[in-house]
Chain A
Amino acid sequence: MIGHKLLKLWSSGRSRWRLHEGITRCGKACYSSCNPKVCIVGSGPAGFYTAQHIIKARQDVEVDIYERLPVPFGLVRFGVAPDHPEVKNVINTFTQTAKHSRCSFYGNVNVGKDVSIDELQQAYHAVVLSYGAEGNRSIGVPGEGLAGVYSAKDFVGWYNGLPNCRELSPDLSCETAVILGQGNVALDVARILLSPIDSLKKTDITQPALEALAQSQVRRVLIVGRRGPMQIACTIKELREMVNLPGTRPEMVATDFEGVAEALKDVPRPRKRLTELMLKTALEKPGEKEQERRNKASRIWGFRFFRSPIEVLADPNHNKIAGIRLAVNKLEGSGEGAQAVLTGEEEDVPCGLVVSSIGYKSLSIDPSVPFDSRKAIVPNIMGRVQQAAGLYCSGWLKTGPTGVIATTMNNSFDTARSLMEDMDSGTLDLSAAKPGSQSISALLEKRGVKPVTFSDWEKIDNVEMMRGEASGKPREKLLKVEEMLQVART
């Protein structure tokens, strides 16, 4: 029967053909099983940008995106700060990709637990790992486990509604908070801790976080880095937001900036502009209006440079932190490669909250996938996983957990190009048809796993937006996976 159809189509002279095998139970037309099928693990920016590029590059490829949570978009939803809604506009682009006829989203599927990488590789011509970095680097000092010490990843997850951070309940009853690390995530945390509540009220920050911050006693946030002003990892937009944050004033150590102005001459533009803004904020005498504003400010923020944590100090009477002991460093070398070297001096800073923002970290998803545990990435060359045919990676899993959406976009397009090259050159064997989601869906059903489709997500999306409207927020996020699944099944 099928052979007869094939003959008819070939003889009609069409060089590329599709055999419509009819409509399946789920109402989707099934294209020929000869179409290349790609599976992407992870639905954050890396997953979606890789999918977008693949779909655009070849008219026959079908892409399935698997996501552990019922909801898509990864760090765009759970990492980008609530007061940066424009950065989240990229969701519109991702939505277009998800709704493309050759793209399917399967949420609530835990790759590594519900289905193995091996099973995915059997079902698809290529598997792209884009599951990012869900772990964090530990500080590696005594006292790290005390109450009052949080990773920035968890703190951000808490105010952004990541389900497994729902019960973080950080203690905000202290006056001083110390943030370790000086990247954009550290600045996000500082800004959320010190923002006027009225500006947070209209964002998609979770209601419990909003209530906790409304009661917060935190009035002073120190953002601590091992090296100097010239090595700071944040970018100018975030620094400017701190400088302009209403109700706050900066408090820096002038000696930290010795020699910095002179070193600026040959520095590339981005570093130069960033450092100039820091210098101005730290050293320049403010104009009358600015001085008045600073005098009225009730909240303080500042950078502390050349300090490494060596111990989190406990309050002997209560089982929580009393402060943090810092080692004083000096710099050897200059620029990006400068190294922090211990001087032997130490300094104790009293504080009630420590947020460690020293980096996210990828985890191994499956023992069959090569993993470099020192760099915490999947070893690869241009997105092709080494010693693993048909396996690719994109995003933070590929290059390490740094970079903004634009970086991840370029990174993902690169991986997609490698994949396309391999398809075109025959390196990736496309001659054998693969069953794709048909077999995986059957497997999942047998295992009692019910995927969440993109239109199921849209039900969740609508419920969140409706709930937000009541309080003038863009959305009120559902905080529990069970709640999300409940809405998805309606």
Chain B
Amino acid sequence: MATSAAVRSSMGLTLRLSRVIPDCSTCSLYRLRSCVNSAANLQRTGSADSFRTINRHLQTSIGLYHSEEGSSNAEDPEDVVNVVYIDRSGQRIPVKAKVGDNVLYLAHKHGIELEGACEASLACSTCHVYVNAAHFDKLPEPEEREDDMLDMAAMLQENSRLGCQIILTPELDGIELTLPKVTRNFYVDGHVPKPH
């Protein structure tokens, strides 16, 4: 047990240094012990789940976390990526982001109502967004697992992607991400109920 604990903590250190998981020690949420999403928080409680969580982040989340407090680097203009979110009411919300930001967590940081139920694990489709035509082709091809999850999204379109899989690069400057409008139908994807 001691060996596995040592492995866990050194693994955690390695992952923090490589910025795959956040260095939560600088984040106020972590210090207040109120960050439920923090992998490091889970690690602190010593739960066996924490190792799995870290592994999950390593295997499934391709996004780099950024602490809620913002980066410690000074604002480098070459690092800035301008993003516009278009929310469900059609309102345009321009956001100044950085290279390496994850579109889902960026949305959360700015209070945009993009859900991420599975926390970037490619196990749901709640972060489904439409990408504007000009930038859609600049995104790397989705991996098969993303396509599988997209297949389950309501109102799938040609320009649909999962927000948790979009990592900002300089060439994505000006990208516009539209949140799909949830219809007021009985069945939100227009599905007609089958007789029992």
Q: Which of B49, B115, B184 contacts A409 (CB 8 A)?
A: B115
Complex contact A405–B117 (CB within 8 A): yes
Complex contact A89–B156 (CB within 8 A): no
Counting chain A CB atoms within 10 Å of each CB, the highest count among B49, B60, B149 belongs to B49
B188 to chain A: closest residue by CB? A410
What's the least CB distance linking A418 to chain B, in Å?
Answer: 9
Tell me, yes or no, whether A95 is within 8 Å of chain B by CB. Answer: yes
What's the least CB distance linking B184 to chain A, in Å?
Answer: 6
Complex contact B121–A89 (CB within 8 A): yes
Q: Which of B36, B45, B121, B151 contacts A96 (CB 8 A)?
A: B36
What's the least CB distance linking B189 to chain A, in Å?
Answer: 8
Complex contact A406–B154 (CB within 8 A): yes
> Among the listed stretches A152-160, A266-274, A289-297, A440-448, which one makes contact with chain B, having 4 or more residues with CB under 8 Å of it?
A266-274
Q: Find chain A residues with CB under 8 A from B154 CB.
A: 406-407, 410
Tell me, yes or no, whether A396 is within 8 Å of chain B by CB. Answer: no
Tell me, yes or no, whether B193 is within 8 Å of chain A by CB. Answer: yes
Tell me, yes or no, whether B194 is within 8 Å of chain A by CB. Answer: yes
Q: Find chain A residues with CB under 8 A from B156 CB.
A: 268-270
Chain B 97-129 near chain A by CB (<8 Å), digits 1 or 0: 000000000000000010101110111111010
Complex contact B48–A407 (CB within 8 A): no
Tell me, yes or no, whether B56 is within 8 Å of chain A by CB. Answer: yes
Tell me, yes or no, whether A359 is within 8 Å of chain B by CB. Answer: yes
Q: Which of B163-196 contact A (CB under 8 A)?
A: 182, 184, 186-189, 192-194, 196
Q: Find chain A residues with CB under 8 A from B56 CB.
A: 85-86
Cα(A56)–Cα(B115), bound, Å: 13
Chain A 331-351 near chain B by CB (<8 Å), digits 1 or 0: 000001000000000000000
What's the least CB distance linking B11 to chain A, in Å?
Answer: 15
Tell me, yes or no, whether B147 is within 8 Å of chain A by CB. Answer: yes
Tell me, yes or no, whether A16 is within 8 Å of chain B by CB. Answer: no
Tell me, yes or no, whether A211 is within 8 Å of chain B by CB. Answer: no
B48 to chain A: closest residue by CB? A469
Tell me, yes or no, whether A472 is within 8 Å of chain B by CB. Answer: yes
Cα(A472)–Cα(B50), bound, Å: 11
Q: Which of A240, A405, A474 contacts B52 (CB 8 A)?
A: A474
Cα(A472)–Cα(B187), bound, Å: 41
Chain B 150-168 near chain A by CB (<8 Å), digits 1 or 0: 0111101000000000000
Q: Find chain A residues with CB under 8 A from B36 CB.
A: 92, 95-96
Tell me, yes or no, whether B148 is within 8 Å of chain A by CB. Answer: yes
B46 to chain A: closest residue by CB? A469
Q: Find chain A residues with CB under 8 A from B149 CB.
A: 237
Tell me, yes or no, whether A84 is within 8 Å of chain B by CB. Answer: yes
Cα(A351)–Cα(B125), bound, Å: 37
Q: How many A residues have CB within 8 A of the partner chain?
A: 46
Cα(A235)–Cα(B52), bound, Å: 25
Cα(A375)–Cα(B187), bound, Å: 14
Q: Find chain A residues with CB under 8 A from B152 CB.
A: 235, 237, 270, 404, 406
Q: Find chain A residues with CB under 8 A from B113 CB.
A: 56
A53 to chain B: closest residue by CB? B113
Cα(A417)–Cα(B88), bound, Å: 13
Complex contact B148–A90 (CB within 8 A): no
Q: Which of A453-485 contact B (CB under 8 A)?
A: 465, 468-469, 472-475
What's the least CB distance linking A268 to chain B, in Å?
Answer: 8
Q: Find chain B residues with CB under 8 A from A84 CB.
A: 123
Tell me, yes or no, whether B72 is within 8 Å of chain A by CB. Answer: no
What's the least CB distance linking B31 to chain A, in Å?
Answer: 17
A91 to chain B: closest residue by CB? B36
A473 to chain B: closest residue by CB? B48
Complex contact A90–B124 (CB within 8 A): yes
What's the least CB distance linking A264 to chain B, in Å?
Answer: 15
What's the least CB distance linking B100 to chain A, in Å?
Answer: 22
Q: Find chain A residues with CB under 8 A from B151 CB.
A: 235-236, 269-270, 273-274
Chain A 220-249 near chain B by CB (<8 Å), digits 1 or 0: 000000000000000111001000000000
Tell me, yes or no, whether A175 is within 8 Å of chain B by CB. Answer: no
Chain A 363-394 near chain B by CB (<8 Å), digits 1 or 0: 00000000000110000001000000000000
A339 to chain B: closest residue by CB? B195
Tell me, yes or no, whether A437 is within 8 Å of chain B by CB. Answer: no
Q: Which of A56, A375, A407, A474 contacts B47 (CB 8 A)?
A: A474
Tell me, yes or no, whether B37 is within 8 Å of chain A by CB. Answer: yes
Q: Find chain A residues with CB under 8 A from B148 CB.
A: 235-237, 240, 273
Q: Find chain B residues with CB under 8 A from A475 CB.
A: 49
Q: Evaluate whether A414 and B188 lie within 8 angstroms (CB atoms) in the complex, with A89-B118, A375-B196, A409-B117 already known.
A: yes
Q: What are 29 A-B pairs with beta-carbon distances under 8 A?
A: A86-B119, A86-B121, A87-B118, A89-B117, A92-B36, A92-B37, A96-B36, A236-B151, A268-B156, A269-B151, A270-B151, A270-B152, A374-B196, A375-B196, A399-B187, A404-B124, A405-B124, A406-B152, A407-B154, A407-B189, A410-B154, A410-B188, A411-B188, A414-B182, A414-B188, A465-B48, A468-B49, A473-B48, A474-B49
The 6 closest A-B pairs by CB, nearest first: A86-B121, A270-B151, A86-B123, A90-B117, A89-B119, A410-B188
Other A-B pairs, 15, CB within 8 Å; known A406-B152, A413-B182: A87-B124, A89-B117, A89-B118, A90-B124, A137-B196, A240-B148, A273-B148, A359-B196, A399-B186, A406-B124, A407-B154, A407-B188, A465-B45, A469-B48, A474-B47
